[in-house]
Structure 1
């Protein structure tokens, strides 16, 4: 677990049975505001170029000034891949506090997900942009393969296609995950790891592997409530993003 004032977070990413780890995770604290940005990407394909696209996307997303917002972070990721032949899907989260409450601003494309969680519940905030999700919305039949075919990506998206939400909470945590986690680990097991594990992101990856997951698996777990139970650490200086492949 890492700390930044009132937020504690954990990140993990594993290759599993793929040739390369084409997932990427990044975290950055905005030097102007002290606010944090988190991003998780899943490169499309199983090559080093897919992995590079995911790394470029998360690095550009978290480098975006927080006041510009999560949608602008997504567009920055798109610019980073503008002349690239490879692509990825992505979710970006910006925790915030104001005079009213705290919460998260979230943007996504594809099937990376964000979940709100606390000691009692786990609630999915994002909606998958996949062929299966589209057909279900039309009350049409789907096949398992359709769950893995995305209808929106970082390179191909437009502003009006980017998923976006803002949630206000009373200190609930946030989970960002690639499909190597959320399509393998049942919700009840995800909630158990989030609320009991010392390193919940790694525990989720381990659970995906134990359940036979073959795909790259990555997660970011943000926990405000745990941080409130501990004395705040001295924040570290520096604003370079921490990118994990």
Structure 2
């Protein structure tokens, strides 16, 4: 359990699903001198160990960047670390609590949602070919949903997504193995049940027959809501 002054409680859950490798990764780090927290969730591109390594390196690097520098700095640091690897790529979302809300940065199709105890509000916008065509009034093909237009290895700084959630809220980070199986309404329904959190979402994905890795990280800034049981996060040191 993590409950520092002005810091959220968080929980994570992940499942490999039918894939050969679990290429999703999560990390969180609390600065002992400031109490500031950084959260990160990455989804490796592909079903290989190099994809899993890229995701692990990305989140481990991102959460070590001081929250005061902001998510863009965390994304840039993760990019340098992934580019130093011989192979592998991933998509990444980073979030830092600030002023009762969150600052979020991302590349690719991982997502962040604000949770008010009843409903979810999507903070990110997918960097996919499908979203690119939707934004231009065209109907994408189903395959385009899985083609990302930015990634940690390839994105230019001006392509980093950024958003702010204002006001007290919970935070949900998901890989596409969660939000492409469960609708936002279905996720909210699961989260309304006391003690349900990231684990409930991943369990629901498995029950629905998801075909991808599924990972969720749930953080809560509202002390009136039930505590979340925390799954220990692995410590990864970039090579």
Measure the CA separation in 1 of the matches of 2:195 and 2:225: 14
- Tell me the residue number matched to 1:218: 215
- Tell me the residue number matched to 2:34: 33
Q: 2:96 aligns with which of 76, 91, 94?
A: 94
Residue 82 of structure 1 and its aligned partner are, at CA, apart by 1.5
Measure the CA separation in 2 of the matches of 1:213 and 1:155: 27
CA 1:230–1:139 in 2, change beyond 3 Å: closer, same or farther?
closer
Residue 199 of structure 1 and its aligned partner are, at CA, apart by 4.0
Structure 1's consecutive aligned runs of 4 or more residues displaced over 2 angstroms after TM superposition are 1-6, 227-231, 241-245
In structure 2, the gaps of 5 or more residues are none
- Tell me the residue number matched to 2:131: 133
Q: Does 1:167 align with 2:165?
A: yes
The answer to whether the Cα contact below 8 Å between 1:41 and 1:58 also exists between their aligned partners in 2 is: yes
Measure the CA separation in 2 of the matches of 1:229 and 1:122: 15
Q: Using structure 1 for the length normalisation, give the TM-score.
A: 0.89
Measure the CA separation in 1 of the matches of 2:226 and 2:132: 44
Measure the CA separation in 1 of the matches of 2:2 and 2:33: 20
Residue 230 of structure 1 and its aligned partner are, at CA, apart by 7.3
Q: 2:115 aligns with which of 109, 114, 117?
A: 117
Measure the CA separation in 2 of the matches of 1:230 and 1:78: 36
* 1:90-116 Cα distance to aligned partner (Å, 9 max, x none): 00000023xxxx110100000000011
Could you say what secondary structure the match of 1:134 adopts?
A: helix
CA RMSD of aligned residues (A): 1.9
The answer to whether the Cα contact below 8 Å between 1:118 and 1:195 also exists between their aligned partners in 2 is: no
- Tell me the residue number matched to 2:174: 177
- Tell me the residue number matched to 1:234: none
Q: Using structure 2 for the length normalisation, give the TM-score.
A: 0.91
- Tell me the residue number matched to 1:149: 147
Of 36-45 and 5-14, more deviation after overlay is shown by 5-14
- Tell me the residue number matched to 2:73: 72
In structure 1, the gaps of 5 or more residues are 232-240
